[in-house]
């Protein structure tokens, strides 16, 4: 992060949020992980919220993958299953963009939520066929041998609100009780990830000072007090810094 008291030289404006740039300091807005991951850190949760709120794509559907009563305790196996499933989705829909999260159910089983840009078919038959294909593919990949898993191992939901994905991602990041790794579970790995097209795109860079920022934020309910440093990320204030209206959203 660097020294929060160093000189502010500008802001980077994204779709919804603003990143404060300080002299000699590059903004940290990407999910860079080093070494073994054993918990869902606060920084990683903040990066997830930033990506979900500022991605140029609009997610239309959420797919949930679960395991049956008997489930793997090896994170590498779980991630391998997830990669196979995502590869299937991209093969079916080459333009697909996705953002996924890992959680642990109360019984300790890992399950994944995947936000995707592919819409659920509008016809009843089309919806049934796609849901059945997803269920069959996950049943095949997970290879549990539990026939009940075929019927209950997946869920497909339409995201009806434009900001539904960002709201869900932020809610997910806050639910730390579902990030507790089950006893005996090893190699948990990353708690979330996305493919290339989801990466937030900077709209513009605005040179400014700390006084300029405080002036723009005047009247904002979350504005930092005069005796507090300006936050590194200012959530939901892009419009205050001149973000152009009518921005396009890719699907």
Domain chopping of the chain, boundaries: 8-29+202-241, 49-198
Model confidence band, residue 32 (pLDDT cutoffs 50, 70, 90): very low
**Nearest Cα to 203, choosing from 237, 159, 231?**
237
Which backbone phi and psi does 57 adopt, to 5 degrees? -95, 160
Q: Average pLDDT over the chain, rounded to whole?
A: 86
Q: What is the pLDDT of residues 89-143, one digit of tens each?
A: 999 999 999 999 898 888 889 999 999 999 999 999 999 999 999 999 999 999 9
Q: Return d(Cα 55, Cα 145) in angstroms, integer.
A: 38
Q: What is the pLDDT of residues 177-228, one digit of tens each?
A: 556 787 888 998 899 999 999 999 999 999 999 999 999 999 999 999 999 9
Q: Which two tokens stand for residue 101?
A: 């999260």
Q: What is the pLDDT of residues 18-30, one digit of tens each?
A: 999 998 765 555 5
Helix (H, G, I), strand (E, B) or coil at 234: strand
Note the CATH number of domain 49-198.
3.30.70.1910
Residue 31 has pLDDT above 80, yes or no: no
Helix (H, G, I), strand (E, B) or coil at 165: helix
Q: Which two tokens stand for residue 79?
A: 């991630």
Model confidence band, residue 153 (pLDDT cutoffs 50, 70, 90): very high
**Contacting residues for 184 by C-beta, under 8 A, at least 6 apart:** 73
Share of the chain above pLDDT 90, in %: 60
Model confidence band, residue 248 (pLDDT cutoffs 50, 70, 90): very low
């Amino acid at each position: 992060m660097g020294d929060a008291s160093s000189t502010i030289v500008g802001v980077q404006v994204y779709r919804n949020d603003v990143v404060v740039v300080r002299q000699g300091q590059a903004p940290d807005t990407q999910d860079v992980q080093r070494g073994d991951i054993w918990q869902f850190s606060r920084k990683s949760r903040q990066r997830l919220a930033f990506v979900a709120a500022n991605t140029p794509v609009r997610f239309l559907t959420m797919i949930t993958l679960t395991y049956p009563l008997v489930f793997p305790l090896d994170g590498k196996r779980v991630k391998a299953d997830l990669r196979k499933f995502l590869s299937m989705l991209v093969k079916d829909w080459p333009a697909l963009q996705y953002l996924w999260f890992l959680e642990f159910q109360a019984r300790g089983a890992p399950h994944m939520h995947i936000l995707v840009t592919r819409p659920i078919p509008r016809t009843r038959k089309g919806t049934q066929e796609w849901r059945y294909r997803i269920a069959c593919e996950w049943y095949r990949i997970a290879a549990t041998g539990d026939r009940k898993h075929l019927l209950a191992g997946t869920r497909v939901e339409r995201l009806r609100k434009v900001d539904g994905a960002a709201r869900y991602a932020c809610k997910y990041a806050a639910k730390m009780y579902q990030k507790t790794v089950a006893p005996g579970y090893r190699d948990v790995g990353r708690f979330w990830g996305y493919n290339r097209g989801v990466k937030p795109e900077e709209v513009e860079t605005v040179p400014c000072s700390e006084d300029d920022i405080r002036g723009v934020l005047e009247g904002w309910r979350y504005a930092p007090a005069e005796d507090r440093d300006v936050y590194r990320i200012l959530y939901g204030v892009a419009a205050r810094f001149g973000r152009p209206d009518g921005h396009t959203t890719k699907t």
